[in-house]
Amino acid sequence: MTRKPGIRPWERLESETVYRCRVFSLRRDRSRSPRTGDDHDFFVLDACDWVNILPITDDDRVVLVRQYRHGVGDFTLEIPGGMVDPEDESPLHAARREMVEETGYDAVDVVPLGLIHPNPAIQGNRCHTFLARGATRVAQPSFDGTEEAEVELVHVDDLPRLVAEGTISHALVVVAFYWHELARRGGLGGGGGETRG
């Protein structure tokens, strides 16, 4: 990434993990300002990379998951997604695994849409977004014991309205729809990386 002249990175002086749980750890970095020379503490959430996947059927239905989210204490409408587990061969493999587990749908034609940093102010991980074309039902969803969810199909033309009215409010899901719209308009070259499932 290019920097403007005169802007320099901070120097990290020390780093320690202060908390660890299953989905992330909290790291304290002591860093020095390149402008003032002052030292400051910064707290960073360390997490593995994430994936999300936009499954679309041949009749232009998007396969969504309505599930309870403890952060907002309510149900949200999302595309399948989750963490890249250590046993996953690749982010693409993780995305397909999550799609089948959460929806029972799968697709052979899976392409990358894009890669983002979910919140670079406090996180260093990335979210890989994929598009699954020609998604079909191959199994029953297999939610784990902590998930309260159901599958819902929505026509792709209804997505802008659902975002605008706040029915779909998950930031990473909205970004996935943006990537998809760019691809539909011919503004994406595939997002790089692996192209087939």
Do 89 and 38 have their domain in common? no
Examine residue 192 and state whether it is found in any structural domain, yes or no: no
Q: What is the end-to-end Cα distance of the chain in Å, rounded? A: 30
Using CA atoms, how far residue 95 sits from 70, 171, 185, in Å, is 22, 17, 24
How many Cβ atoms sit within 10 Å of the Cβ of residue 159? 21
Q: Is residue 197 part of a domain?
A: no
Q: Report pTM.
A: 0.89
In tens, the pLDDT along 73-111 reads 999 999 999 999 999 999 999 999 999 999 999 999 999
Lowest pLDDT segment from 49-58, 135-144, 183-192: 183-192
- 120-132 residue pLDDT tens: 999 999 999 999 9
| Angle ∠(173,179,180) on CA atoms, nearest 5 | 90
99 and 153 share one domain: yes
- What pLDDT shows up at residue 106? 98
165 and 100 together in one domain: yes
Residue 152's nearest CA partner among 166, 165, 162 is 162
Q: How many domains does the chain have?
A: 2
The rounded distance, in Å, linking the Cα atoms of 125 and 41 is 20
Supply 36's token pair: 């003032």
Between 63 and 22, where is the model more confident? Answer: 63
Cβ-contact 105, 55 below 8 angstroms: yes
Q: Give me the pLDDT at residue 197, please.
A: 41
Position 6 in a domain: no
Please indicate, yes or no, if residue 5 is contained in any of the structural domains.
Answer: no
Same domain, 15 and 62: no
